[in-house]
Structure 1
């Protein structure tokens, strides 16, 4: 499909994957402004991001020496444990051999080159550009590489079928007014209706989405509600740590959810979650994170409250019959660099109505 709306960048996807792989320093081999916003955000999450700041001269004569200098500076100044060199459109166009620059720099810090640029329609290409050299370097197993390939394919299929990539253009929306959706949710709870609260979140976004489970539990700890969460102990290093922190946070609030999968499995859990819904036969379900992972044939008889962080996800969720759709605005910046559950707008709205 040819999209006419902005799509996630494969360069940024490589940067985030470098973080998940345990890199504490990344070097963007390109102009100083490349991926500026996300580089700044990732520095809040423990990944120091440098740039070779390529300009006119390097565009003509190459940036090999510039990359060598930055690698040497990075090792000497910051003593990183792992380095990722991330490509850009410029490094691709001028044909840079980033692996050769790593070798020629003489550094001893473990480092890999992620040969990527922004000329891909799917950001998962950036993830694979990070994971394949990581597997070659022994940072992850071949088994984990295969697992990640399967998960990425599943997530991509969901986005194309029912997500923000299902149409060439989707009008962004903030969704329903939160106090209206929260009021209806509390009506269901107070009426004694049977409910399910499902956390099916992508990686660190779960730090905020999990707050909604806590808010509902605070509102009605004795209600007929079952909690589910994709917080198992699988995935890359950071993903596993995040899941452990969130499990501990939920337990501290008296919630021990049924574990449905891992934080990186959000895209392939749809049918399993749908079968759980059909077996439980709830009157209502609150699905937070990636609600569209669940095919609509499983939720037809259920009043669904969806919470997403994607303004372009509102329309597709309404198209598949979700009656209430709200958006957590600016969720991603608020969940970088944290190690405990943080308040959500929808959760705080629920609390305000108690």
Structure 2
């Protein structure tokens, strides 16, 4: 049992719908349900609405409210984006609507077309009592498979990645202990000294990031490359990244393309591509195979560093220096259990939403300042 707050399956389903390319999400529940997620997704161009269920609806049901809300959402989309010939709307269940058994699938046939426009409804039967947040994303993919929005091969790949992500969190991340104390102090000062004094070494910069968080977690790695180039330290930099632009839903592929362009614009070559941006649970293993082969002196892993069994490198070189960069004060302790140094980038997810290019990181900004 995990006693500290964890991400919600409802929020996970909303982000997964965003990746599908929907126009709007309707939360069938109270107006305050998943408020922060709704606000953040609107920064990414997704319009989020709510049926605003109240106590009366908890007793008598609110399907009429849901249908009225769908009407209102379609009208909004027609007024604000009239040139589209199809609107895709996600309906996400909440604890309130799912516990009383609301049938959020009934609108699929009722709203296939309106005012000459095709309407696709994607309902997700989900609530927060299902524990693992990835269940929300899997259920979203199940509906998309049923509606033929994705094929079975992509569904199976998505499900495997989501289940492996849960496994990583439960064995090496924020869900490995009943309670993990948040830590807001990290090892940034020590890492800066290490990088400033590094001479004639082999440094591996590994991006193993989840989806759009890569816009932030790529930044410190790019700055390490630039810092090394300007200071002529004779260090050899090897860049490894999960930026395969041919894997994932369209948004994920585009994010990878954008990041590859950012590396190219900074004259940085990526030596090894380990997989896609939604494959970080398995690209960590591929990165480890590469690291064991190239035998670096310093390894910096940015994004989801706990997905790499980095401690195995000590068997090859007991003097190797390992540095993990991630998001969230509850990850510092799990990272420090396997890495020599840990750096925390706060609110990474909130900072990258709506962005399509590099977002400055705390560590990267300091490196850039030192490099001037």
Q: Calculate the TM-score normalised by the size of structure 2.
A: 0.91
- Match status 1:83 vs 2:72: no
* 1:37 CA displacement: 0.7
Aligned mates of 1:116, 1:47 — CA distance in 2: 19
Aligned pairs for 1:1-354 (under 5 A) are 2-79=1-78, 81-105=87-111, 107=113, 108-188=118-198, 191-221=199-229, 223-232=235-244, 233-257=246-270, 258-300=272-314, 301=317, 302-320=320-338, 322-354=339-371
Aligned mates of 1:157, 1:131 — CA distance in 2: 19
Which segments of 5 or more consecutive residues in structure 1 lack a partner in the other structure?
Answer: none
Aligned mates of 1:252, 1:296 — CA distance in 2: 30
Aligned mates of 2:110, 2:279 — CA distance in 1: 39
Aligned mates of 1:111, 1:35 — CA distance in 2: 20
Aligned mates of 1:288, 1:137 — CA distance in 2: 36
Aligned mates of 2:108, 2:148 — CA distance in 1: 17
In the TM superposition, what whole-angstrom CA distance separates every residue of 1:23-65 from its partner, at most 9, and x where no partner exists? Answer: 1200000000000011000000011000000002211111100
Q: Calculate the TM-score normalised by the size of structure 1.
A: 0.96
* 1:297 CA displacement: 4.1
Give the 3 Å change call, closer, same or farther, for CA 178–169 of structure 1 in structure 2: same
CA contact (8 A) 2:187 2:341 kept: no
* 1:152 CA displacement: 1.1
Using the TM superposition, name which of 78-87 and 49-58 deviates more. 78-87
Aligned mates of 1:172, 1:256 — CA distance in 2: 36
Secondary structure at 1:325 match in 2: strand
- The number of residues matched between the two structures is 350
Which segments of 5 or more consecutive residues in structure 2 lack a partner in the other structure?
Answer: 79-85
CA contact (8 A) 1:183 1:353 kept: no
Aligned mates of 2:237, 2:180 — CA distance in 1: 34
Structure 1 residue runs of 4 or more that deviate by more than 6 Å after TM superposition: none
In the TM superposition, what whole-angstrom CA distance separates every residue of 1:194-225 from its partner, at most 9, and x where no partner exists? Answer: 11000000000000111112101111126311
CA contact (8 A) 1:179 1:350 kept: no
Aligned mates of 1:154, 1:224 — CA distance in 2: 33
Aligned mates of 1:202, 1:51 — CA distance in 2: 28
Aligned mates of 2:355, 2:87 — CA distance in 1: 21
Using the TM superposition, name which of 241-250 and 291-300 deviates more. 291-300
Using the TM superposition, name which of 100-109 and 153-162 deviates more. 100-109
